[in-house]
Chain A
Amino acid sequence: MKFLPQDQLEAFLAHLAESAIVVAPQRDQDGVLFFQPWEAGAEVEFEQLLTRQSPKDYVFRQTETYLKFGYQMKGKAAAEEEEVGGKKSKDEPAAEEAPPAEGEEPAHEVLQVETVEDAPEQVIFGLRPCDARGYYQMDQVFGGYGGFYYDPYYMAKREATTLVALTCAQPWSTCFCTAVYGSPSGTDGVDLLLTGIEGGFTAEALTERGENLLGFGGFADVGTGQADAAQTVKDEAFAAIDPPFEIEGVPQGLRDNFEDPAWHDLQMRCISCGTCTYVCPNCYCFNITDEMVEKSGERVRTWDNCFNPGYTLETSGHNPREQKFARFRNRFSHKFWYYPEKYDSLLCSGCGRCIRYCPTKIDLREVIRTLGRPHAAEAAPAEDSEAAGVHAQTGEDL
């Protein structure tokens, strides 16, 4: 453990910025706190606990171009310039149709591989442990776990990213990381953990990457009592969060309550806007679309929203989650039941942004309290469903 005096903070940021893009919480022109690339002299804000959005976008882009393509006429352009990858058209035998008019062969696409310059070395600085854990949890989808594909676009950026997290001293009322196996000083995914104490920050390296950061000359050895002070900050923050539900049994509870009428009550005011999915540090669903102007275009993937009625709509018109309650149920079940079953990790790190920014005040904690309780194996099931019904109406804590 090392100590970073407050007056060395800017020098540390500048040091990091010499070899990487540094992304840190900064207010935009409207005063809203976001993760943004840091430049010398810019003011970094650590007072407000959470940024409006998690820094998810810096690894899993909201909009990401991964293919570029263009249609060029064969024959014409070939004489003037060498076309990329265009060799394939020549040696192919013509189909058994009448040959096209001289020099007027049909257009074909030339496929170009997008350069990889958008995976630069970057340090995400001052993110909270829940946001770091968001990457850690998402990594399972994109990292080839369980025999699945290794996502080259996500992983190229992920592996070029260093996470410098900051312990939360004063959690918000919407924080519930401790209910989902996390902590205000959690270290999942974290390379270097800073904890604010009198006069600066303690710094603990969790990985080799983190260890390397401690090479900066502004770090001092921890003084007497500083390690204890940091531990006190951590302990007090942990104690400040009252876990709103008991996570054990939630997957089974969601399974047991799959047909529970409370789903219909709780989803009633949802407007399918998808704000919860956009502010979530874990939500990873995406769509793939082509954008084209005249003869050239791009293939992009963009964050998607599982609340969108078109999300599961098939071309035939069949839609397995046509009703809103089914989409609503899917999101919570995915985070607390489906995903853990598949990847051995929850898909929620307890940041509470979905609660804070939902325009209709839907509260994940209430949903999980109401529908995440397993039916007792021995007890009469009638008792449980009755209880669930009551809580759906009152929204009270159990």
Chain B
Amino acid sequence: MNVQTAAEFILDSPFLPRSAEIIRKDRLNDTETLYQLRLMDGSELGHLPGQFVELSVYGVGEAPFSISSSPTRGRTFELCIRRVGDVTGGLERLGLGDQVGIRGPLGRGFPVETMRGKKALLIAGGLGIVPLRSLIVNILDEREDFGDVTILYGSKSPDDLLFRDELTQWEAREDVDFRMTTDIAGPKWKGNVGPVTTLFRRIEVDSRNTVPVMVGPPVMFRHVVKQVLACGIPEDRIIMSLERRMKCGIGECGHCQINGVYVCQEGPVFTYAELKRMEEAML
């Protein structure tokens, strides 16, 4: 009956984190910091855009974070983290060279392979830019593999915009249609004001060959999905990433469950056609 001994079970445990070292810390905002990490065993994380990790600050706890960097960028990976709870507070107290625990990559990422050769419509609301950046950078690093790239990014206020240096670069690129909007304009803001749906007036969407990918709060999903459907894009081509409170990350603990689906396993990336069938998914 025992194919493995108990000791072997436990050394194989999906609950055991690998050690990673903080090699860079960039303050992006009052509350957001971009952490660059490297696994101490020298291996690559091996993630797909849209996947997440469980990060441990030993003694404080473990929490899920989406991976913000593209797998095209080598041996390190980046997590953009808002300081708001225990683990994020504990992380902020760590410095360069300090170790954290990493489990993952976990979950289902964005369908990068099926997006090749197609047009990409990438829509981020608020912190949705954090996971979406992994896909954006991946696409831009392999730009010739994709059709037209449109990026829409909505944020509460100009002060809340993240990755500003990169936003400037994306804006400057001729092979990307990048547009931003904020709910509230500041004195220096010359861009669009209003929810991200207001940007749809300014773009054209080719319904036959565009893959829309959206990451943001539920209220954004509800409105953007309507817009995208109105463009004639079928439900099973609309890609969305959900936020849930993943705890174990491996389909056991129950926290992220929506109906019979564990978001940590079958998501966090879903098609709208899948989410539509799940009660509570869009709440």
Residues of A within 8 A of B (CB): 66-67, 69, 71, 88, 92, 94-95, 97, 105-109, 111, 113-114, 116, 119, 141-142, 148-153, 155-156, 159-160, 258, 284-290, 292, 297, 299, 301, 304, 306, 311-316, 318, 320-321, 326, 333-334, 337-339, 341-342
Contact = CB atoms under 8 A, between A and B. Distances in A.
Given A94-B97, A152-B13, A287-B247, A111 B252 contact: no
Contacts of B7: 116
Contacts of B23: 95
A315 B283 contact: no
Interface of B: 1-2, 6-7, 9-17, 19, 21, 23-24, 40, 56, 58-63, 82, 84-85, 88, 95-99, 101, 127, 217-218, 243-245, 247-248, 250-260, 265, 279-280, 283
Contacts of A97: 96-97
Given A95-B24, A106-B98, A318-B243, 15 more contacts: A69-B58, A92-B21, A94-B97, A95-B97, A116-B7, A116-B10, A148-B265, A286-B253, A299-B58, A299-B62, A314-B243, A314-B245, A316-B127, A337-B260, A338-B259
A258 B252 CA distance: 24
A88 B260 contact: no
Contacts of A341: 259-260
Given A109-B58, A320-B258, A339-B260, A160 B6 contact: yes
Contacts of A114: 10
B196 to A, nearest CB: 17
Interface of A is mostly: mixed
19 contacts: A69-B59, A106-B97, A111-B17, A148-B251, A153-B10, A153-B13, A153-B15, A156-B6, A285-B255, A287-B253, A290-B58, A290-B60, A292-B60, A299-B62, A311-B255, A315-B84, A315-B85, A315-B245, A326-B280
Contacts, number: 159
Contacts of B24: 95
A347 B260 CA distance: 12
A25 B40 CA distance: 49
B18 to A, nearest CB: 9
A95 B23 CA distance: 6
A122 to B, nearest CB: 13
B275 to A, nearest CB: 12
Contacts of A304: 253-255
Contact of B98 (A108, A113, A286, A314): A108
A260 to B, nearest CB: 12
Given A152-B9, A153-B10, A333-B259, A292 B98 contact: no
B283 A320 contact: yes
A318 B217 contact: yes
A330 B142 CA distance: 43
Contacts of A92: 21, 40
A49 B28 CA distance: 62
Q: Considering the complex of A and B, which 8 residue pairs feature the smallest CB-CB distances, nearest first?
A: A152-B9, A285-B254, A292-B59, A156-B6, A338-B260, A149-B250, A341-B260, A342-B260
Nearest to B127: A316
B245 A288 contact: no
Contacts of B252: 141-142, 148-149, 151, 284, 286
B62 A290 contact: yes
Contacts of A159: 1-2, 6
Contacts of A288: 61-62, 247-248, 253
Contacts of B244: 312, 314, 320
B260 A67 contact: no
Contacts of A88: 19, 40
A297 B59 contact: yes
A314 B246 CA distance: 9
Contacts of A316: 84, 127, 217, 243
B267 to A, nearest CB: 13
A66 B13 contact: yes
Nearest to A114: B10
